[in-house]
Amino acid sequence: MRMNKKFRVVLFLVIAAGTITWWYGRPYPSKEILTSRQEVNVKNMSKDMQTRCVGRYLIDLPASFSLYRNSQQLEDDDWVANISMPDDWWKTYIATKRMYYPAFEQFIQRRQKELEKETVSNPLDGPYLKKIWLLPEGLKGIIFERNESFLTPDSTRIIEAYIYTNGVAIKLQKESANDSAPRYKKDRERRGRETNFIPRDINNIKKLLSRITGRQEDEIPTMPGSCIADAFIATDKYVQERENIHSNYTSDIIRGWMISLNMDNFTKGSDGILERAGDISRDVSRMNGYIVREGAFDTSGLYVEEMLLMAPEPSNNRARYSFGLYVNEKTASYKSPGLTMELDNISQIPRSYTQEERIIYTQEEIMTFWDNITHTIRLRPNAL
């Protein structure tokens, strides 16, 4: 009897040890089990994969996905990136738009007239348009130096620059300062110095414009630098530019879903997504949701952490998904840029699709689709 009891204990320990070894030794993520119908759906979702460049990373997405913008108007300042040097007080924001050159020329002429007609509340702050700067020889575009607004003192300036390259109009905008006017004497004395960043900022803007070239979405650069929507920024010679670049993609086939990618090479998190899992789980549970999957894996030499969430729509109880992936979240630097990727059917969905028009996929289908694209992420060769 004692032998049988002892045998049962030993057998239990062996089984437990084997289960633990199997559990922790199994690959992550585990492959989803799909029905034949689901396999067909995922195959259609992942059809015609094409390489895209975001920042200094590459990812393969289905050909049906294209860049989504909140606005198609260059003047609406739909920024696709911002960059700065470590000693900059303000960032330089970038917007892009594909257009024909005659349309670009008309846009510049119209913008100049708008700035020339702009008024100021205090006559001492006039004129609103301070100066027009020409670009270096060989570059098509212009730089406007203007007041920040109708109300603000003209010690605060905005540098608004435009360039046309390879069928793409690119706008750069940066805040700057110039308090060299006599009426700012007391301000200068209080600070003990004059603040006039305009010469330096104009020079840096010109250098940046000379490093930007327009590109097609499927054009993958081969030199060091970063991709932004419709363009490429060659690496600065000091190799210390701080970059924050994002691209959103939507599809006419996989309707109602958005893929968002953001590369940031200087912002470091104090903890990783998996370390925040407890707090996230509690927050999601308050919305009757849960963590579908969480874990880490390696792809192309990159350590990746991910968290997949689901919470029902309050209005109709349909599943709302928000999948997130993080690379170098706590260690972002110039040589190891951070990357965040999201897939969701919750926010920023194009308004052209009604709730009824959005395609409903099963959780297994969307998770398999997610795995198909996330495991293609890699640093672009020669990007750094």
**How many whole angstroms separate alpha carbon 246 and alpha carbon 338?**
12
Task: Work out the pLDDT band at 142, boundaries 50, 70, 90.
Answer: very high
* 178 has a pLDDT exceeding 80: yes
Residue 366: exposure state from Cβ atoms within 10 A (0-12, 13-18, ≥19): buried
- Summarize the confidence of residues 345-353 as an average pLDDT: 57
Long-range contacts of 299-304 (CB under 8 A, 24+ apart): 299/374, 299/375, 299/376, 299/377, 299/378, 300/377, 300/378, 300/379, 301/378, 301/379, 302/327, 302/328, 302/377, 302/378, 302/379, 303/327, 303/328, 304/374, 304/377
- Summarize the confidence of residues 329-348 as an average pLDDT: 89
User: How confident is the model at residue 21, as a pLDDT?
Assistant: 36
Cis peptide before 337 (omega within 30 of 0): no
Window from 53-62, 190-199, 227-236 with minimum mean pLDDT? 190-199
Task: Work out the pLDDT band at 87, boundaries 50, 70, 90.
Answer: confident
Beta bridge partners of 151: none
Comparing CA positions, the residue from 52, 119, 84 lying closest to residue 259 is: 52
Cβ atoms of 296 and 282 within 8 Å: the answer is: no
Task: Work out the pLDDT band at 20, boundaries 50, 70, 90.
Answer: very low
* 28 has a pLDDT exceeding 90: no
> Which of the two residues, 292 and 347, has the higher pLDDT score?
292
- Summarize the confidence of residues 298-303 as an average pLDDT: 96
Tell me the Ramachandran region of residue 231: left when phi exceeds 0, alpha when psi lies from -120 to 50, beta otherwise.
beta
Cβ atoms of 261 and 247 within 8 Å: the answer is: yes
**How many whole angstroms separate alpha carbon 239 and alpha carbon 241?**
6
Axis-axis angle for helices 363-374, 36-45 (nearest 10): 40
Check the CA dihedral 248-251-254-257 and report its sign: positive
Task: Work out the pLDDT band at 124, boundaries 50, 70, 90.
Answer: very high
User: How confident is the model at residue 27, as a pLDDT?
Assistant: 76
User: How confident is the model at residue 23, as a pLDDT?
Assistant: 36
**How many whole angstroms separate alpha carbon 229 and alpha carbon 253?**
21
* 53 has a pLDDT exceeding 90: yes
Task: Work out the pLDDT band at 8, boundaries 50, 70, 90.
Answer: very low
* 25 has a pLDDT exceeding 90: no
- Summarize the confidence of residues 181-194 as an average pLDDT: 80
**How many whole angstroms separate alpha carbon 46 and alpha carbon 177?**
50
Residue with tokens 């960032």: 91
For 53, the 3-state DSSP assignment is strand
- Residue 313's CB is within 10 A of a number of other CB atoms, namely 13
For domain 36-64+252-379, give the CATH number.
3.40.1000
Pairing of strands 57-62, 49-54: antiparallel
* 3 has a pLDDT exceeding 90: no
Distance between start and end Cα atoms, the chain: 70
DSSP string over 89-133: SSPEEEEEEE--HHHHHHHHHHHHHHHHH---SSGGG--SEEEEE
Beta bridge partners of 104: none
> Which of the two residues, 13 and 34, has the higher pLDDT score?
34
* 306-336 pLDDT per residue, tens: 999 999 988 778 889 999 999 999 999 999 9
Please indicate, yes or no, whether the overall pTM of this predicted structure exceeds 0.85: yes
Q: How far is CA 231 from the centre of its chain?
A: 14
Cβ atoms of 43 and 361 within 8 Å: the answer is: no
User: How confident is the model at residue 208, as a pLDDT?
Assistant: 97
Residue 99: exposure state from Cβ atoms within 10 A (0-12, 13-18, ≥19): middle
- Summarize the confidence of residues 354-381 as an average pLDDT: 89
Mean pLDDT, the chain, as a whole number? 89
Window from 197-211, 240-254, 342-356 with minimum mean pLDDT? 342-356
User: How confident is the model at residue 355, as a pLDDT?
Assistant: 58
- Summarize the confidence of residues 167-174 as an average pLDDT: 98
User: How confident is the model at residue 9, as a pLDDT?
Assistant: 42
User: How confident is the model at residue 237, as a pLDDT?
Assistant: 85
* 16 has a pLDDT exceeding 50: no
Cβ atoms of 85 and 242 within 8 Å: the answer is: yes
* 371 has a pLDDT exceeding 50: yes
**How many whole angstroms separate alpha carbon 162 and alpha carbon 74?**
10
